[in-house]
Amino acid sequence: MTASPEQSGAGPLAVWLIGARGAVATTTIVGAAALRLGHARPIGLVTESVPLSAAPLAPLDSLVFGGHDVTDTPLIKSAHALCRDAGPLSPQLVRDLEDELAATEPCLRPAPPLFGSRPALQFIRSVQEDLAAFRRSTGARRVIMVNLATTEPPAPPELARCDLMQLEAGVAGPGLPASLLYAYAALDVGVPYVNFTPSIGASLPALEALARERGVPHAGQDGKTGETLLKSALAPMFRMRNLQVKSWSGFNVLGNTDGLALSDPAIAASKLESKSKVVPAILGYEPHMIVRIDYVPTLGDWKTAWDLVQFDGFLGTPMTLQLTWQGSDSALAAPLILDLIRLVDLAADRGERGGLGHLAFFFKSPVNSDVHNLAEQYTLLCRHVLAA
């Protein structure tokens, strides 16, 4: 499988989800079916609004889904578990789509085992076999992998200093994060890769080198859906108006499995690092930053973020802004997944390779970009997609 031009021909666009039975993946699959069958309008899809809707993107109804998961909860059950009041889905919608979900079920496969004596190389081969089988069975013109799996603890910092040869030597041994192996497996066989999580995925120099060598694009890292989205929209206001932010304290509570994973401080470290750097990057200085994520199981997929911004105005006058954001975590993420699939597919069609900096708009820690200001990110996105 390579990113050769003939891929852009007929056939569906196949999407391989890592964490395919989780809340975001389930909402993505349900949502794509709902759009295809006319049960919903494309609210929340950036690629369905002006001006990006004018780009030559894959039709939404050309998407087919498969993927890996470490659990075996049936997709229909995952969908019902996301119904109100625990999640965004309407029970009626899920009932109406049960046939669709049943049809996707056979495309979901158990994640290959990673831990223990089994070498990483064997894991990579398993993944690649599943990708190839999925491509064959769907007749897809292209497969794109999307990482939606539970956040991993931060990767060892020395990985950032490996070159591709060193990494490939290391692949023979144990201890590499699954997200990295998945990204390697995909890029190695020309499958574009999207990392919607804070896990390391393809965001290290060795993988960037692999992507460029194989001529395949990738996107990431850590989808920007809630509190950080707000920060990237609001922090520029303080900078433009020369108001001095003294502290920005953000508290997030949520109850889905993402919340559960993030209640482990080791795992939260990945996310918090990603969330903490946006405001200083935009402001150009370091206010006192607090970012917390707490698990409140009774909230289900509903996430509430409260932010307190303390700032000084003219003559040092102390002022504050508070924000309370209440939304469904999965409903915020899913349309962006659909956007990213289409935009990465277009990039692959155009022969773009490596980390796609113009997709910074979607991410807390964008690869190949240091732009965090939402409006600037949007301008770059539209210009790049429409100009090319």
77 near its own copies (CB under 8 A): no
CA distance 184 to 201: 8
- In the complex, least distance from residue 130 CB atom to its own copies, rounded to whole angstroms: 28
Interface residue with its own copies among 327, 357, 368, 384 (CB under 8 A) is 327
Interface residue with its own copies among 147, 197, 276, 328 (CB under 8 A) is 328
Q: Which stretch binds its own copies (CB under 8 A): 100-108, 141-149, 208-216, 323-331?
A: 323-331
- In the complex, least distance from residue 220 CB atom to its own copies, rounded to whole angstroms: 18
Q: Which stretch binds its own copies (CB under 8 A): 58-66, 131-139, 296-304, 347-355?
A: 296-304
- In the complex, least distance from residue 47 CB atom to its own copies, rounded to whole angstroms: 9
Interface residue with its own copies among 112, 201, 223, 335 (CB under 8 A) is 335
Q: Which stretch binds its own copies (CB under 8 A): 147-155, 169-177, 202-210, 295-303?
A: 295-303
CA distance 199 to 266: 12
Encoded one letter per residue, x for contact with its own copies by CB under 8 A and - for no contact, window 17-36 reads: ----------x--xx--x--
Encoded one letter per residue, x for contact with its own copies by CB under 8 A and - for no contact, window 231-260 reads: --xx-xx-xxxxxx-xx-x-x-x-------
- In the complex, least distance from residue 40 CB atom to its own copies, rounded to whole angstroms: 5
Q: Which stretch binds its own copies (CB under 8 A): 55-63, 82-90, 129-137, 345-353?
A: 82-90
What is the size of the binding site for its own copies (CB under 8 A)?
78
334 near its own copies (CB under 8 A): yes
- In the complex, least distance from residue 306 CB atom to its own copies, rounded to whole angstroms: 5
CA distance 70 to 18: 9
Between 130 and 258, name the residue whose CB sits nearer to its own copies. Answer: 258
Interface residue with its own copies among 320, 350, 351, 386 (CB under 8 A) is 320
Question: Quick check: 306 and 250 in contact, CB under 8 A?
Answer: yes
CA distance 19 to 46: 23
- In the complex, least distance from residue 302 CB atom to its own copies, rounded to whole angstroms: 8
Between 179 and 373, name the residue whose CB sits nearer to its own copies. Answer: 373
Q: Which stretch binds its own copies (CB under 8 A): 63-71, 87-95, 124-132, 141-149?
A: 87-95
Is residue 38 classed exposed, middle or buried when 0-12, 13-18 and 19+ CB atoms within 10 A define those classes? Answer: exposed
Between 75 and 229, name the residue whose CB sits nearer to its own copies. Answer: 229
316 near its own copies (CB under 8 A): yes
CA distance 12 to 135: 10
38 near its own copies (CB under 8 A): no
Q: Which of 129, 112, 181, 109 is nearest to 152 (CA)?
A: 181
- In the complex, least distance from residue 180 CB atom to its own copies, rounded to whole angstroms: 29
Interface residue with its own copies among 306, 368, 384, 388 (CB under 8 A) is 306
Between 102 and 233, name the residue whose CB sits nearer to its own copies. Answer: 233
Structure tokens belonging to residue 35? 């759009």
CA distance 268 to 371: 23
Q: How far apart are the first and last CA of the chain?
A: 25
Q: Is the peptide bond before 85 cis (omega within 30 degrees of 0)?
A: yes
Residues 181-240 close enough to bind its own copies by CB under 8 A? 229-230, 233-234, 236-237, 239-240
Between 69 and 307, name the residue whose CB sits nearer to its own copies. Answer: 307
Return all residues near 385 (Cβ < 8 A) that are at least 6 apart: 52, 55, 343, 346, 358
